[in-house]
Amino acid sequence: MSAQEWLAIGPLLAVFALAMLAVVLDIARPGRDRLVTGVMVVGLLGAIALTGYTAWYFGGGEVEVFGGAYVRDALTSFLDLLFLSIALLTILFSPDYLHPRRLPMAEYASTLMFAISGAMLLGAARDLLVLFLALELLVLPGYMLAGYAKRDGLSTEGAIKYFLLGSFSSAIFLFGLALVWGFAGSTRIPEVAAVLTSLDGAVSLTPALTMGLALLTAGVAFKIAAVPFHYWTPDAYQGSPTPVTGYLSVGPKVAAFALILRLFVDALAPLKADWVPFIVVLAALTMTLGNLVALTQDNIKRMLAYSSIAHTGYILVGLAAYAAAPPGSDTERAGLEALLFYSAAYSFMNLGAFAVVTALQKRTGVTSQITTFAGLGRRAPLLGALMFLFLLSLTGIPPLAGFWAKAYVIIAAVQVDSPWLIGLAVLTVLNAAAAAFYYLRIAVVMYMGEPSEQTAPVQVGRLVSAGLVLSAVATILIGLVPGPVIAFAQEAARALL
Amino acid sequence: MSQSLDAYLVLASLLFCIGTFGFLARRNAIAMLMSIELMINAVNLVIVAFGAFTPELADRASVIALIVMAVAAAEATVGLAIVIAIYRNRRTPLVDEYHSMRE
Amino acid sequence: MALPPTVPYFDIAWDDLLFLTFGGLMLAAALGVVLGRNIIRSGLAMILSFAALAGIYALLGAPLVAAAQVLIYIGAISVLVLFAIMLTQSKSGPASLVFHHQAWAAALAAIVLALLLVSMVAGAEWPRAVAERVHTATGDVARLLFDEFVLPFEVVSVLLLAAVIGGVFLAKREDTDVPETEAGARQVTLGSEPGGASGRAASGIASATIVAAEDLGRRP
C-alpha cells in the first residue's frame, strides 16, 4: 500500500485504534474513567484534524483503497467529519450520566468508537459486502449501547427490541443484497451500476431486481426508522441511557443515509425513477406520523424520538427530490446537497437537545418526564436558554441551522417539476408548523412552569458544558454562515454523481 | 432438479419465509433469535447457489458465505448477551411481557 | 461395484434424491424450530436444519462452506443458543404461551412473502447464470480471502472484537469480585487471535460461552 492509501484510510484506522486503546487503558489503569474520557477526547480531536488534512490533501479527487472496496472522496470526508463530531459530542456528554450510575467508561467508549468506525466505513464503502459489514459494525455496538445500563430494566428492554428488529431487518437487507449480487455478478458498486446501466430501460425492473430492491428498501427503512418501519424507535430511545439516546438519534440515522447514498444513489441509480413513489409516500408518512404522535407525548425522550422520526421524513424529501429529478441535472444534485446539509444541521441541534436532558439527569432518579423541565428557565437560566435555542432550531426558526436545513430541502423539492414533489414540499411546511406546537410546549413548561418543591439546583459538569457550547456554536454558525457547509455538501454531492 | 438454480432459490425462499413466520409469531426472545438464524441461513444458501451456477461468482460465493457466517456469530453473541442481561432483570424470556414503556 | 446412474425403481438421479432428502429435512426441521412448543426441542431441530443445509452446500460443490457450516453453526452458534436457553428457562416455563395471539397474521404474512418470492424466482432471469454447475476450488477461496476480500476479512475481525467486548460486559454478573478489567484482558487476547474468519468467529463465541458457563456455575 502506498502512503496515499494509508492516508486515505487514516481516519478510520485512528478510530479503530481509539476503540482498542479504551480497553487497553482500562487494563493498564483499571477504573480510571476520567483518563479514558480525556484520551478519547484528545484522540477524536486528532482524528478530526487528520480527516480535515486528508480532505484538504486530496481536494476534490478520489483515492481507491483495497482494490476499490474503499474510496476516499469528498463525500467520505464530509461524513467522516460529521461522524467524528457526533462521537466527540457523545463522549463529552456521557461521563456525567454514566459516573453517578456506576457504569464503566472504558467499554462504553470502546463500543461507541466501534460503532463510529462502522458509520465511517459505511460512508466510504464501494462494495456490497463491505456495506453489509459496515452496517453490522454500526448497529451491533448500537444494540449494546442501548442496553448499557444493564441493571436498568428499561435499558435492556429497549435493547432487546432494538436488537430483534434490527437483526430481522439486517436479514431482510442481506437477502436483497444477495439478489442484487446474483443478478449483477459482482460486489463492487461501479460494476453493479455498469450492469444495471447496460440493461435497456424497458426491462430494467425484472422480477428478481424488483424483489431485491423491495427487500433492500424495507431493510434500510428499518434502519432510518421510517414509518411504518419505525416500531422499534420509541422504546429503544426511551429505554437507552440518555447520552446513548442522543447518539442513536443521530449517528445510526445519518449513517443509514450514508448507506442510502452509497447503495441507492451510487449503485442502483439507473433504477431511481422506479422508486420515486415509494420514497414520496415514505417521506410523507414518516414526517406526518412522527409529528402527530410526538404531539401527544409526555416523556421528553419519547417525544424527541418521534421528533427524530419526523426529521427522517424531512431528510427523505431531499432524497425524493434527487430521485424525481432527471439524471445529470442540477436539481438532482440539489436534492443530495439538501440531504447532506440537513443531516449535518440535525446532528448538532438534536445532540444539543439531548445533552440538556443528560445534564438534568446527572443526579440519578431524575426522570425524563416533561415536568422535569418545569421552571428550568429560572433554575438554570443558561441551560434553559440553550435548550430554547436547540428547540427553536429544531422547529426551524431563522436564522438557526434548522431553518436553512428545512429551507434547502423544500427548495430542492420545489425545483423538481413534479406534482408529487410540490405536494411533498407543502406537506413539509405544514409539518414544520405542527412540530412547533410540541417543541414550544417544552419551552412553555421551562419558562412558565412551577418547579416542584424538592428540585435541587442543577449542576452542569465541565465536559457537558464544553459539549453544549460546541453544539450551540455549531447550530448558530451553520445558521448564520451556511456557506462553507453548503460548499462542502456540494462537493460531496458532486463526488457521488 | 439438483441441476437447476431455481430449485435452490425456491428452497432458500421457503426457509426464509419459515424464519420470517417464526420471528413474527414467537413470543420467546431466543426463539425469535433462532428464527433470524434460519433467515440468515436462507440467504447463505442463496449466495452459495448463485456461486454454484455462475462461473465468475464461484469462489467468491464461498468467501461471502464464510463472512456472513462470522457476522451471524457476532450477532448471536450480542443477542444472547442482551437476552441474559434482560433475563436478570425480568426473569422471563417472553418478549411481549416487556412492555413497561407503553403508554 | 458401481452405482447405477439413477436410483433403481424411481428413475431419478442420485443428486436429485440427495437434494430432495436434504431439502425436505431442512424445511421440516425449520418448521420444527418455529412451531415446536418446547424451546429446547426447537434448538435441537435448529441443529438438524443446519446439518441438512451443510449437506446441500456439499451437494452444491462448496465443501469449505459445508465444513464451516458444521463448525460455526452447529459447533458454536447452536451451543451458544442452547446455553442461553438453559440460562433463561425457568422451570415453570409456560409451554402453552409459545405464540402471539396474532400468529395467524404472521402466518398469512409469511405465506404471502413465500408466494411473492417463489413467483419472483420462477419469473427471474439471471444474466450471469449458466446451466452447468461449477465447482469451487478451495485454494482459490483462500487466495480471494486475502486479496480481493481483504477489507471485509479485516472488518469481520473488528466486528467480532466489538461483539465480544460488549457481549462480555452485558452478560457479566454485577456482583462478582472479578474486576471489570480482567474480562477486558481476556477479550482482547481472544479477539485478536490469528486465524481465518471461522477461527475468529469461533474465538468470539468461545469467550461468550465462557461467560455463560461461569454464570451457569454460579447460579444458586
Q: Does B61 touch chain A (CB under 8 A)?
A: no
Nearest CA in chain B to A184: B57
**Tens of pLDDT, residues A6-64:** 999 999 999 999 999 999 999 898 888 889 999 999 999 999 999 999 999 988 788 88
The complex scores an ipTM of 0.94
Q: What is residue C7's three-state secondary structure?
A: coil
| pLDDT band of C28, cuts 50, 70, 90 | very high
**What is the least distance, in Å, from the CA of A377 to any CA of chain C?**
38
Nearest CA in chain B to A185: B57
Residue A162: what pLDDT? 92
**What is the least distance, in Å, from the CA of A229 to any CA of chain C?**
15
In a domain, A478, yes or no: yes
**Partners of residue B33 in chain C, C-beta under 8 Å:** 81
In a domain, B102, yes or no: no
The set of cell numbers assigned to B37 is 438464524
CB A294 within 8 A of CB A307: yes
Whether C3 has a pLDDT exceeding 70, the answer reads yes
Nearest to A133 among C155, C166, C174 (CB): C155
**Tens of pLDDT, residues A425-471:** 999 999 999 999 889 888 888 888 777 766 667 778 888 899 999 99
Nearest to A27 among C125, C156, C185 (CB): C185
Characterise A61 by phi-psi region: left (phi > 0), alpha (psi -120 to 50), beta (else).
beta
**Tens of pLDDT, residues A215-244:** 999 999 999 988 888 888 888 888 899 999
Residue numbers of the domain that contains B77: 5-97
Q: Does A147 touch chain C (CB under 8 A)?
A: yes
The number of folded domains in chain B is: 1
Q: Give chain A's mean pLDDT.
A: 89
Characterise C6 by phi-psi region: left (phi > 0), alpha (psi -120 to 50), beta (else).
beta
A493 vs A88: CA distance, rounded Å: 25
Q: Does B32 touch chain A (CB under 8 A)?
A: yes
* Binding-face residues of B in 55-74 toward C, CB within 8 A: 55-67, 69-74
Secondary element (H or E) of residue C189:
helix C180-191
Nearest CA in chain B to A145: B82
Cα A474–chain centre separation: 16
Characterise C51 by phi-psi region: left (phi > 0), alpha (psi -120 to 50), beta (else).
alpha
Q: What stretches in chain B show pLDDT beneath 70? A: 1-2, 93, 95-97, 99-103
**What is the least distance, in Å, from the CA of C3 to any CA of chain B?**
18
Whether A141 has a pLDDT exceeding 50, the answer reads yes
**Tens of pLDDT, residues A246-268:** 999 999 999 999 999 999 888 88
CB A375 within 8 A of CB A446: yes
Task: Name which of A305, A312, A259, A320 is nearest A286 in CA terms.
Answer: A312
CB C203 within 8 A of CB C192: no
Nearest CA in chain B to A168: B36
Q: Which is more confident, A414 or C95?
A: A414
For residue C185, count other CB atoms closer than 10 A to its CB: 15
Cross-strand pairs, A299: A369
Nearest CA in chain B to A139: B75
The number of folded domains in chain A is: 1
Residue C179: what pLDDT? 42
Inter-chain CB pairs, A–C, below 8 Å: 115
**What is the least distance, in Å, from the CA of A199 to any CA of chain B?**
19
Please report, to the nearest 10 degrees, the dihedral formed by the alpha carbons of residues C90, C220, C164, B42 taken in order: -20
Q: pLDDT exceeding 70 applies to what percent of chain A?
A: 98
| Cα dist from A385 to A344, A380, C97, whole Å | 22, 9, 51
Cross-strand pairs, C99: B26
* Binding-face residues of A in 57-76 toward C, CB within 8 A: 65-67, 69-70
Q: What's B26's domain CATH number?
A: 1.10.287.3510
| pLDDT band of C40, cuts 50, 70, 90 | confident
Question: Cβ B47–A181 below 8 Å, yes or no?
Answer: yes
| pLDDT band of A191, cuts 50, 70, 90 | confident
- State the best of B15, B38, B86, B91 to mutate against chain A, taking most chain A CBs within 10 Å: B86
In a domain, A286, yes or no: yes
Q: What is the mean pLDDT of residues C113-142?
A: 80
Task: Name which of C136, C166, C163 is nearest C68 in CA terms.
Answer: C136
In a domain, A11, yes or no: no
Backbone angles phi, psi at C165, to 5 degrees: -60, -50
Whether A204 has a pLDDT exceeding 70, the answer reads no
- State the best of C165, C178, C180, C192 to mutate against chain A, taking most chain A CBs within 10 Å: C165
pTM for this model (two decimals): 0.91
Task: Name which of A322, A226, A213, A312 is nearest A276 in CA terms.
Answer: A322
Q: What is residue B27's three-state secondary structure?
A: coil
A153 vs A437: CA distance, rounded Å: 32
CB A112 within 8 A of CB A247: yes
A372 vs A445: CA distance, rounded Å: 9
The set of cell numbers assigned to A12 is 478510520
| Cα dist from A61 to A37, A74, A80, A486, whole Å | 35, 8, 16, 18
The set of cell numbers assigned to A98 is 454514566
- Rounded to 5°, the CA angle A271-A274-A280 comes to 125
Residue with cell 414550544: A440
Question: Cβ A111–C166 below 8 Å, yes or no?
Answer: yes
Backbone angles phi, psi at C98, to 5 degrees: -85, -40
In a domain, A79, yes or no: no
Task: Name which of A261, A316, A252 is nearest A119 in CA terms.
Answer: A252
Residue A115: what pLDDT? 95
In a domain, A463, yes or no: yes
**Tens of pLDDT, residues C154-212:** 999 999 999 999 998 988 876 544 444 434 343 433 333 344 555 555 555 555 555 55
CB C162 within 8 A of CB A137: yes
Say how many CA atoms lie within 13 Å of B29 toward its Cβ: 35
Nearest CA in chain B to C12: B1
Residue C23: what pLDDT? 92
- HEC sequence for A59-118: CCCCEEEHHHCEEECHHHHHHHHHHHHHHHHHHHHCHHHHHHHCCCHHHHHHHHHHHHHH
- Tell me how far apart the 2 most distant CA atoms of chain C are, in Å: 68
| Straight-line distance from the first to the last Cα atom of chain C, in angstroms, rounded to the nearest whole number | 60
Percentages helix, strand, coil for chain C (3-state, rounded to 5) are 70, 0, 30
- HEC sequence for chain A: CCHHHHHHCHHHHHHHHHHHHHHHHHHHCCCCHHHHHHHHHHHHHHHHHHHHHHHHHHCCCCEEEHHHCEEECHHHHHHHHHHHHHHHHHHHHCHHHHHHHCCCHHHHHHHHHHHHHHHHHHCCECEHHHHHHHHHHHHHHHHHHHCCCCCCHHHHHHHHHHHHHHHHHHHHHHHHHHHHHHHHCCCEHHHHHHHHHHCCHHHCCCHHHHHHHHHHHHHHHHHHCCCCCCCCHHHHHHHCCHHHHHHHHHHHHHHHHHHHHHHHHHHCHHHHHHHHHHHHHHHHHHHHHHHHHHHCCCEHHHHHHHHHHHHHHHHHHHHHHHHHCCCCCHHHHHHHHHHHHHHHHHHHHHHHHHHHHHHHCCCCCCCCEHHHHCCHHHHCHHHHHHHHHHHHHHHCCCCCHHHHHHHHHHHHHHHCCCHHHHHHHHHHHHHHHHHHHHHHHHHHHHHHCCCCCCCCCCCCCHHHHHHHHHHHHHHHHHHHCCHHHHHHHHHHHHHHC
The set of cell numbers assigned to A233 is 424507535
Residue numbers of the domain that contains A443: 271-497
**Tens of pLDDT, residues C45-77:** 999 999 999 999 998 888 899 999 999 999 889
Determine the residue type at C71. Answer: L
In a domain, A63, yes or no: no
- State the best of B64, B82, B88 to mutate against chain A, taking most chain A CBs within 10 Å: B82
